[in-house]
Each structure stands twice: as structure tokens, then as C-alpha cells.
Amino acid sequence: MAVIVVIVVILGAVQLFVRAVPPVRYVSTAPASFRVPGPAPVLPFPGQGEATVGLLGVGTMGSSGGDGPVPIASLTKMMTAYLILHDHPLTDGQEGPSLTVGAADVATEAADAAGAQSVVKVQAGEQLTEHQALEALLVASANNIGTLLAEWDAGSQAVFVSRMNTEAARLGMTATHYADPTGISSASVSSAGDQVRLAEVAMTNPVFAGIVDLAQVNLPVAGTVYNYDYLVGHDGIIGIKTGSTAQAGGCFVFAAIRAVGPVPIVVIGAVLGQQGPSILQAALNASLALINAAGAAVHPISLSLPADGTVARLSTAWSSPVPVMAPGTWSTIGWGGMTVGVSVSRTTPLAPVSHLTAGTRLGSVTLSLAGQHHTFPATLQATVPVASARWRLERL
């Protein structure tokens, strides 16, 4: 009998003090993503060419016509201006260095004009500041000034064009190839999506954004010249660049301010390859329809995790699972049908059971909506009990 008692005592001691308690298990229950409630917007995309529209800083709302390389005409000048401002930065109010017009530049203007290209009048010895040259490039869409700027910056058009393509690759513009700094070549190609990608980056430069928002500019020799984008300055439109050739059709990369309640938003997009009696008018009309529809589709949204914010459960062999929750609401803007990404990070390793009390932060959950992100703390909703002596003794 005494032997049996000793054995029982030994087994009990082993159960209580030697045999390890199974670890707490962290079981994730969070979805990888979920959808913003409501139907996706129906947008009036043109029945020809390519088009993309979205919200600056938020993401693409929709597109049509594929995303392959097509001629882009003077949209090419956006990259030219972007590189010039990268290499020779200006701040608001700065005119920058002066460029002297030479005899070769006058000859370029005459040749371009003879080919029915868009130009501004220049004369030998004329001084154009960098800012004035960019105005001529982006507002008057002057091909001769595009050539002048490329040669001023890189020494030759060939070197400058090589840099244009290098920068396009760096920006992830996979459907883009530049053959010249102006777009007169039909071998300068891109896609609507790529052009929006470039526009989003270029519009972060206040000098670029300020120039493309001008309806007209005054130049030393050419005098007052006007923007081919006759919509700029009206109905909230703040740019960006038109383009049109027989090969490219009518093209327009646009940005326009709209409002969601008191919050201003910028609708940004591109329409390429429009045809009709007036190809540029067709591009502008199609763009305005997209701007209005896209602006109307954006509304305030409140996002929270499904299942009351439960993202995980802590399970033990001796008690009921304890939820880990990231409750709360993220108020932002968007539209129905958008995909919200869910990313869960957790504390590793878990603290000892004795420290797993209600309110303990076990990580965080980040919701991602296009380019927007919001993080909630993930906390334990109840205390995880320590395994009782009885459970330790009775377990098999």
C-alpha cells in the first residue's frame, strides 16, 4: 500500500511540476481582404481608344480599352518637363536659368512650322528662362521648345530620350517607350495607365502643377499663347496635357478638383486614341464625362473589420478560446466594390500565460485601401487563465 501511495505522489508531482503545459496557440481568423460595401461605379468610358480614371492618392476607379502601347503625341512632353524639373529644380516664383535661342533653334522652329507642328515663335538671341520654356512646352505645346530643352539639358536629343526611357522604366511604365522629346514621332508610345502613373508623380511638383493649370502665358517674342486644353480653369479642371496627331488621335491627361462634402479630391485620368471630326474635342468631351462621373461616385466610407473586429483567438488545452480583437472604425473616402487588404502582425513570442491579461496588446492590424493605410491595435479581450492544479493532475 505504501508503495502505491509513493507512486501516486510521484506521478502527481510529475504532472504538476515536471510535465510541461502545452503552449498557448494563436489562431488567426482575420480575412486576407474584404470589399467596401455597395456597387462599383458605372463610368461612361469612351467606346474607342484607351481610358483610365481614378482618384489622386487613392487608386484607379476603372479603365477601358486595354493597357497596351499606343502613340501619345504631345503627352510625351509631360516626361520632358518632368525630367527638366528633376535636373534643374525650381521653386514657386523662381524663373531659373536663361536659355539663349540660337540660329539652329530658329531653324528648328521654321522646319517644325513647315511640317504643321505646334510651335512658338522665337528669334536668335532671345532669352527664355527655364520657367518660360516650360510654359511654352506645356501650355502652348511647342515642339521647337521641346527640342531646345532636351538639347540644353542633355547635349543632344538622343541622350535626353535615353534618359526619358530610363526614367519611365524606373517609374514602372512598362508599356511606354519614347522616341523623341515632343511626341511628333508615332514611335513615342505609352498606355493610359502609364500616363496616369507619370501624371501622379509629376503633379507632386508644385511648379509643374502650376504651369499646367494656366490657360495662357506671355512669352518674350511669341507674346500671348493659349493652352490647347480649353477646359483648364473651368469646372475644377487644373490640367494636365493634351496631345493630338493623326496616328495618336485625340489624347488628354487630366486632373480636376471635386469635393466629397468639405473634403477636396483630385480626379485624375487619361483618355487616348479618340477619333472623330475633331479628335481633340472628342478627347476633352470624353474626359469631362469621366471626371464628372468619377467625382460623383466618391463618397465617405467607414471601414472596420468583419466579425466585430475579431482577428484571432488564443486557444489553450484547459480553457475556452479567448478572442483577440481590433475594434474601431476608419473613416475615409472611396467607392463601392474597392478591395480592402488586411495585414495582421502579432507579438512573437507570446508572453507567459501569467501575463496574458485582458487588454494586453498582441500586435496590430492594418487595413489598406489603394494607397491609404490605417492601423488598429489588436488586444486580448479577456484574461487567459493559468492551468489549474486539478487540470494538471487529471490530464492524460
pLDDT (tens digit, 9 = 90+) per residue, 337-361? 999 999 998 887 777 787 889 999 9
Q: Which residues pair with 218 in a beta bridge?
A: 224
Task: Determine the pLDDT at residue 390.
Answer: 79
Structural domains in the chain, sorted by start: 20-37+302-394 (2.60.410), 67-297 (3.40.710.10)
Whether pLDDT at 7 is above 60: no
DSSP for 48-82 reads SSEEEEEETTTEEEEEES-S--EE-GGGHHHHHHH
The least confident of 81-90, 183-192, 201-210, 363-372 is 363-372
User: What pTM was estimated for this model as a whole?
Assistant: 0.84
Amino acid letter for position 43: L
User: What integer pLDDT is reported at residue 11 of this predicted model?
Assistant: 47
pLDDT digits (tens, 9 = 90+) for 62-88: 999 999 999 999 999 999 999 999 999
pLDDT of residue 313: 92
pLDDT, position 218: 97
| Average of per-residue pLDDT values in the chain | 92
pLDDT at residue 4, rounded to an integer = 64
Backbone angles phi and psi of 97, in degrees to 5: -65, 160
Output the pLDDT for position 351. Answer: 75
User: For residue 42, is pLDDT > 80?
Assistant: yes
DSSP string, 10-54: HHHHIIIIISPPPPPEEEE---SEEEPSSPPP-----SSSEEEEE
Question: Is residue 9's pLDDT more than 80?
Answer: no
Q: What is the pLDDT of residues 198-218, one digit of tens each?
A: 999 999 999 999 999 999 999
Rounded Cα–Cα distance for residues 69 and 176 (Å): 6
Spatial distance between the Cα atoms of 123 and 105, rounded to a whole number of angstroms: 8
Q: Which of 337, 117, 353 is nearest to 245 (CA)?
A: 117
